Chains A and B, each alone.
Chain A
Amino acid sequence: MYQLEMLTDPDPVIEAYKKDIDRTLIRENLRLTVEQRFEELMRWQEFAAELRRAGRQAAERCSPTSPN
């Protein structure tokens, strides 16, 4: 069985990373339901896919071999 006490030993590497964590985002997320958190994730996925598509399109337009 897992011992919770293990987590009380801070890892100095993780502590260093923790300084840069945006806790306002965490507090916002903790106010959402679990399903709302997944809905946010899926909206982000769609947004990221659209950004990638636009980036590819822009790169093709800028390519020296592009017909445009």
Chain B
Amino acid sequence: MLTNFPELIRLLASSGVEFIIVGGAAAIVHGSARATKDLDLVYRRTRENVARLVVALASYDPYPRGAPPGLPFKWDEHTIWNGCNFTLITSLGAVDLLGEITGGGSYDDLLPDAVRLQLFGVECWCLRLERLIQVKRAAGRPKDFEAIAELEAILEERRRVNSTS
């Protein structure tokens, strides 16, 4: 199933959900040529925001990605408060809803290092490139080594362009 990045971002932002784009989608924002299949978001864990998140995705059949069908999974506020990070498949594609991330913390921890984007007709936050690199470094996963190398190369390219302009 393909992930409809524009529709997911538009849906959540227009529903008033507070989130920060992180992971592979944030890397795309910053210029990565690496493909990603899912939209990774750090959402704010407040009562109001969790309620908005539940309402926004309710019509799009959220379900734990890769889990066998028929699990007693109920998409509601109680489920979100009982967990933290959710890897979901929806009818708009794959979305990871993260209450916090390794090396980065929560929405409020990350927000000072996020940039505001005008994207697909809405406004949303995306983690800054430098912070994205730091978070991926902190996670220390071997599968991220190549991605980190590319992000650092992007940072170098940006600095090169800025120094010559």
Q: A17-B145, A18-B153, A23-B153 are in contact. Are A29 and B134 (CB under 8 A)?
A: no
Q: Chain A nearest CB: distance from B5 CB in Å?
A: 5
Residues of chain B within 8 A of A25, CB atoms compared = 33
Residue interface mask A13-45, B partner, CB < 8 A = 1: 111011011110111111010110110011011
Which segment of B55-63, B65-73, B111-119 sits at the interface?
Answer: B111-119
Who on chain B is nearest to A39 by CB?
B6
Residues of chain B within 8 A of A28, CB atoms compared = 33
Q: A34-B117, A38-B6, A45-B35 are in contact. Are A14 and B145 (CB under 8 A)?
A: yes
Residues of A contacting B: mostly: helix
Determine if B148 is an interface residue (Cβ-Cβ < 8 Å): yes
Residues of chain A within 8 A of B133, CB atoms compared = 7
Q: In the complex the two chains form, is B149's CB within 8 Å of A14's CB?
A: yes
12 A-B Cβ contacts within 8 A? A2-B131, A7-B152, A7-B155, A11-B148, A20-B146, A21-B146, A26-B32, A29-B32, A29-B33, A30-B154, A35-B119, A48-B35
Binding site for A on B (CB under 8 A): 2-6, 28-29, 31-33, 35-37, 112-113, 117, 119-120, 130-131, 133-134, 137, 145-146, 148-150, 152-155, 157-158, 161
